Structure 1
Amino acid sequence: MKPNLIIDKILPALKEKDYPLFDLDSILNISEVSQEDFFSVYTDLDDFIIKAFYQLCAEADGLFEKMGKPSASLHSLFRNMDELLKLHLKYRFFLLNLLDLIKNQELIRDRYLDMIAVRKSQLIHLFTQMATEGLFVKERFPGNFENLSTQIFMLADYWLSHNQSVFGPEDVRLPFYSKLISSMIVPYLTEKGMADYKNTLSSERELKLV
């Protein structure tokens, strides 16, 4: 069985489980992955966790590479932020246990810190590009776009913990958090940017009706 298939089968069995309380045998049993298949790819549970986290990062990197292209637009920004929240929902175990994982897994800590540094620079570049195109207002003070990108990623990385605390693990309100991210960005839009944003909303409504 390929590594990505093993990860996809095991992820639903993890969900809201606490990292320190893991039991490999029960996880493999629930996910219907044989020990033979598992150990043909991974040396132990920690090896699986690290490689699954790296797969999460690779998928997230792909979303941000799209946003960093010259053809990137407001539409792609909002769409890819939605996709990021969906990706975090798929890999929710890692986001809900992020602090414990960073404390106990040096490779995860280093990869996560590298990833958020790159993400921040990509988003700052996109905001600057949109300001040049007249879609975004220019920075009101030095570091304005850096602060905005940090706020967005704090919400994107920790929305699942807030959701679980406030609404419960069974009541996942992804659209609510997507709107919160949008509400951070909208105040920075120019008149031209608002027109583009409204067109994006209209297009999404039309797609839902099809």
Structure 2
Amino acid sequence: MKTKEKIISTALRLFNEKGYNNITTRHIAAELNISPGNLHYHFKHSEDIIKVIFSELIIEMDKMMNNLNEAEVKTLESLFDFTFHTYEIFYSYRFIFLNFVDILKKIPQIEAQYEKITMGRKNEFQTIFSDFQKNKIFQENLPDFIIENLSTQIFIIADNWVTHNSITLKLPKDEAIKHYSLIQMNLFYPLLNPEQQELYKLNYINK
């Protein structure tokens, strides 16, 4: 692993473990047993490291979205897998979500990225939801305002569940991912066809 990759990996771990506001480039350099000058050769400020980490998060999510989008047949299981793996990824980058507003204010580039991503994801989700209707997973006669607001509801839950867990339930990683991914999945339950609702309860609720 190259020095730059080691810096990013170590920074992500330290930010997650000790908190974004408690870690400087000096802490990262000390953890790697390299000089601050060596680290600053690659990244002048911790914000520069965070930009790269945020971009890596986006790349991982792009792959997930593309896989779901390109699936010829979309099922309830594929929707659950997408949701569950999304929450696994978000947990791996949890410091971003725990400090989301602060990071957006300090790093305008990330704020601009997030705004662009939000608009793009909404269009992607609309296509996915339409496919779920075609595949008779979702009901066909759902009101437009329900479908149009669904992506916003997903963003609200997905972007804030890590904070909610850290303040309230304090569940460990595996339990937290399972618990909150099901909470998001429950959004879809009223939209499912009756037979899919029964399948949902059988596979995800009554286990």
Report the TM-score, using the length of structure 1 for normalisation: 0.83
**In structure 2, distance between residues paired with 1:184 and 1:120:** 16
Q: How well do the aligned residues superpose, as a CA RMSD in angstroms?
A: 2.5
1:34 matched residue in structure 2: 34
1:159 matched residue in structure 2: 161
Task: Name the count of aligned residue pairs.
Answer: 201
1:117 matched residue in structure 2: 119
How far has the Cα of 1:3 moved from its partner? 3.9
Q: How do residues 1-210 of structure 1 correspond to structure 2 at under 5 angstroms?
A: 1=2, 3-15=4-16, 17-30=18-31, 32=32, 34-35=34-35, 38-71=39-72, 72-138=74-140, 140-168=142-170, 171-172=172-173, 173-194=176-197, 197=200
Deviation string, structure 1 residues 109-129 (Cα, Å, up to 9, x no partner)? 011111122222211211111
Question: 1:75–1:200: 8 Å Cα contact kept in structure 2?
Answer: no
**In structure 1, distance between residues paired with 2:3 and 2:118:** 28
**In structure 2, distance between residues paired with 1:182 and 1:199:** 14
How far has the Cα of 1:9 moved from its partner? 2.4
**In structure 1, distance between residues paired with 2:4 and 2:20:** 20
**In structure 2, distance between residues paired with 1:174 and 1:167:** 12
**In structure 2, distance between residues paired with 1:98 and 1:33:** 29
**In structure 1, distance between residues paired with 2:202 and 2:17:** 37
Identity %: 25
Where structure 2 has 5 or more consecutive residues not aligned to the other structure, the ranges are none
The 1:75–1:122 alpha-carbon spacing in structure 2 relative to 1, beyond 3 Å, is same
Bigger CA drift: 173-182 or 132-141? 132-141
Question: 2:94–2:162: 8 Å Cα contact kept in structure 1?
Answer: yes
